[in-house]
Structure 1
Amino acid sequence: MGGNHHHHDSKGTKLVVSILLNVIITASQVIGGVISGSLALLSDALHNFSDVLSLLISYIAERLSKRSASTAKTFGYKRAEIIAAFINSSTLLIVAVILIVESIERFVSPQEIESNLVIWLSAIAIVGNGLSVLLLRKEAGSNMNMRSAYLHLLTDMAASVAVLIGGLLMKYYQLWWVDSALTMAIALYLIFMGYDLFKQSLKVLMLFTPAGIEIENIIKTVNEFPSVQAMHHVHVWQANEDETHLEAHLDLHEDIRISEFDTLLLKIEAYLKKEYGINHVNIQPEFNKNDAKDVIVQD
C-alpha cells in the first residue's frame, strides 16, 4: 500500500511542476506575441494555456481518484481519471480544428513578424514542455489520465518546434508560408493522437466491453464447468483502467449447496482473472428460475 501511495504522490507532484512550467511559458508567450505581433506565438500561448487547463483537470482527477468509497459513492471516484482523459482528449481535437482554421487563414494572408523574439520564446517553450514531457512519460504508459496530459504537452512541444522552425525560416529566407504548413501538420497529428484516446475513454464511460474480452468464449468455457447448465445475462465493463468487472446469472443443473457453489465460483474467478484480467466477478446462481435466458439482456 505504501508503494502505491508514493506512486500517487509522485504523479501529483509531477503534474504540479508541469502546471507551473506551463504557466510561465504561457505568460511569456502572451507578452512576446503582443510585442512582436506574432500570431504564431499567440496561438502557441493558447495551446500552452490549454495545457495548463488539461494539467489542472488531470491533477484534480488524480487527487479525487484517491478518495475512499462511501455509502453515497460506492465506487468512490474511480471514474475521475477517465472523465479527465475524455475532457482532455476532446479539447485536443477542438484545439486541432482551431489550428487548422488558423493555419489556412495565415496561409491566405501571411504576415511579417519580429522573428528574433519568436525564435527565443519558442525555444524556451520547447525546453519547458520538454521537461514536462519527460516528467510524465513513465506514467503515460499505464494511466489514461496521465496519457491525456502527456499528449497535450507532447503536441504543444511539437507546436513550439514548428514555431521555432518557422521563426528561423522567416528570419533568414522570408518563407512566411512555412509556419502555416507546419501548424497544419501538427493539427493533423493532434487529431491522430487525440482521437484514439477520446475513443478509449468514451468506451469506458459508455460501459462497453473492454477490448480483447470475448464474451462468447467466456460463456463457452464456463458452460463446460461441472454443475453449470448455462451462463446468461452477462455484463462486462471497466470501472477504470485497473478494474474490469463481470456480472452474470448462472443456471445450474442441480440444486447444489452454497459451499459447492463457492468452490465452483473460485474456479470461474481464477479462469476469468488468468485469461482476461477480470478482477471483479459477481455471479448470481439459479436453479429452475423462470427468467430470460438470453446471453445479453437489455436491462
Structure 2
Amino acid sequence: MSHSHNHSHNHNDLKGRNLLISILLNILITVSQVIGGLVSGSLALLSDALHNFSDVLSLVVSYVANKLSKKQASIHRTFGYKRAEILAAFINAATLMIVAVLLIIEAIKRFQNPQEIESNLVIWLSVLGILANGLSVLLLKRDSKTNMNMKSAYLHLLTDMMASVAVLIGGLLMKFYQVYWVDSVLTFAIALYLIYMGYDLLKTSTKVLMLFTPDSIPLKQIVEEINAFEAIKNVHHVHVWQLNEEEIHLEAHIDFNKNITLTEFDVVLRKVEDYVYDKYDINHVNIQPEFGKIDNKDIIVQD
C-alpha cells in the first residue's frame, strides 16, 4: 500500500505557463539593462542585468524540469524524472551564489575607481525591472510555498526585484546628490543578499539529492513507535529519504515475534503505513519481514 498526492494536469500546466511568462519578461529586462548599463556606465545596472540573465537561464532550467517531472516512468527510469525539479533547484541555487561572488569582485574594483553615471537611464530601467519582476514574483508566489523548483525560480525573481529597488535608490542618489560610489555599494549589497537567499535553498536541495533524512522526520521516535506495535519484535536497517516535493520513502527490516502468515503480515503492514502517513506524511513504505534471522539489528546499517 502507498499513499500519494497528485496535482492536477491543469495546475502543472499553469505552473509551466507562469514560468514561460516570467522567462519572456526577464529576457526583456536583461536586454534593456545591458543596453542601458553600457550607455549609462552603471555597474549596478550591468550587475542587475547579469543577475537577470542568470535568472533567464535558471527559469529555463526550472521550465524544462517542470516538463520533465511529468514524464512517465519506464524500464530504464523506474522513478521517471521525479527529481528533475530538485536538480533544477540545486543548479539555480548554485548559480545564484556564483553570480553573487562575481558581483562582489566587480563592486570592489569599481569602488576603487568610481565613474560618472547617466542616472536618468538607470532610474527608468530600474522601474521597468521592478514592474516586470514584481509581476513574475506574483505569478510564482503560490507554487513557491510547496515546490522547491518553483521556490528557486521565485527567489531569483524576488532578489531581482529587490536589486532593481536598490538600483532605483542609487539612481536617485546619483541624480540629485552626485554620489557615484553608491553604485558600487549597492552592487555589493545586492550580492550579499543573493548569497543569503541562495544558501538555504542550496543546502536543502543538497540534502534531498544526497538522500539525507528529512529534517521533519524524527527517525528514532518513529522506530520506537513502530517497535511498540503488537507482533513486532524489532525494527532495524532503516532508511528514510525524500524523493521529491511530494514523496517521502521509508524502508526497514522488521523482526516478528513469531512466524506469521503473509495475510497476518499484510495487516501489520497496513497499520504501519497508515500510522507513518497520518503522523509523519511518509507516503511510500517498503518493509522486509523477518523471523529468527541473524543479522545486524541496529537502526542504521551501512549497506
TM exceeding 0.5: yes
The one-letter amino acid of 1:14's match is N
Aligned to 2:37: 33
- 1:110 and 2:139 correspond: no
CA-CA distance at 1:182 after TM superposition: 2.2
Structure 2: how far apart are the matches of 1:23 and 1:186? 20
SS in 1 for 2:217: coil
Structure 2: how far apart are the matches of 1:169 and 1:223? 66
SS in 2 for 1:128: helix
Structure 2: how far apart are the matches of 1:43 and 1:59? 24
Deviates further, 108-117 or 235-244: 108-117
SS in 1 for 2:8: helix
Q: 1:167 aligns with which of 152, 168, 171?
A: 171
Structure 1: how far apart are the matches of 2:91 and 2:6? 30
Aligned to 2:291: 287
Aligned to 2:18: 14
Q: State the identity %.
A: 67
Structure 2 gaps, min length 5: none
Structure 1: how far apart are the matches of 2:106 and 2:155? 21
Aligned to 2:203: 199
Structure 2: how far apart are the matches of 1:3 and 1:270? 21
Aligned to 1:183: 187
RMSD over aligned Cα atoms: 1.3
Aligned to 2:129: 125
* 1:83/1:201 contact within 8 Å kept: yes
Structure 1: how far apart are the matches of 2:183 and 2:46? 13
Q: 1:256 aligns with which of 256, 260, 282?
A: 260
Aligned to 1:212: 216
TM-score, normalisation: structure 2: 0.96
Q: 2:27 aligns with which of 23, 30, 33?
A: 23
Which structure has more relative contact order (CA 8 Å, sep 6+)? It is 2
- 1:148 and 2:152 correspond: yes
Aligned length: 299
Structure 2: how far apart are the matches of 1:135 and 1:101? 33
Aligned to 2:83: 79
Deviates further, 183-192 or 134-143: 183-192
Structure 2: how far apart are the matches of 1:112 and 1:182? 15
* 1:162/1:179 contact within 8 Å kept: no
- 1:53 and 2:57 correspond: yes
Structure 2: how far apart are the matches of 1:268 and 1:19? 45
Aligned to 1:232: 236
Q: 2:140 aligns with which of 128, 131, 136?
A: 136
Q: 1:96 aligns with which of 84, 95, 100?
A: 100
Structure 2: how far apart are the matches of 1:120 and 1:260? 72
* 2:43/2:184 contact within 8 Å kept: no
Aligned to 1:247: 251
Structure 2: how far apart are the matches of 1:90 and 1:281? 32
The one-letter amino acid of 2:9's match is H
- 1:68 and 2:72 correspond: yes
The one-letter amino acid of 1:91's match is T
* 2:44/2:186 contact within 8 Å kept: no
* 2:241/2:249 contact within 8 Å kept: yes
The one-letter amino acid of 2:249's match is H
Structure 2: how far apart are the matches of 1:102 and 1:134? 31
Deviates further, 276-285 or 99-108: 99-108
* 1:68/1:76 contact within 8 Å kept: yes
Structure 1: how far apart are the matches of 2:248 and 2:39? 53
* 1:169/1:175 contact within 8 Å kept: yes
Structure 2: how far apart are the matches of 1:234 and 1:243? 17
CA-CA distance at 1:3 after TM superposition: 6.3
Structure 2: how far apart are the matches of 1:39 and 1:231? 60
Structure 2: how far apart are the matches of 1:113 and 1:23? 24
Aligned to 2:162: 158
* 2:43/2:187 contact within 8 Å kept: no
TM-score, normalisation: structure 1: 0.97
Structure 2: how far apart are the matches of 1:144 and 1:223? 33
CA-CA distance at 1:96 after TM superposition: 1.4
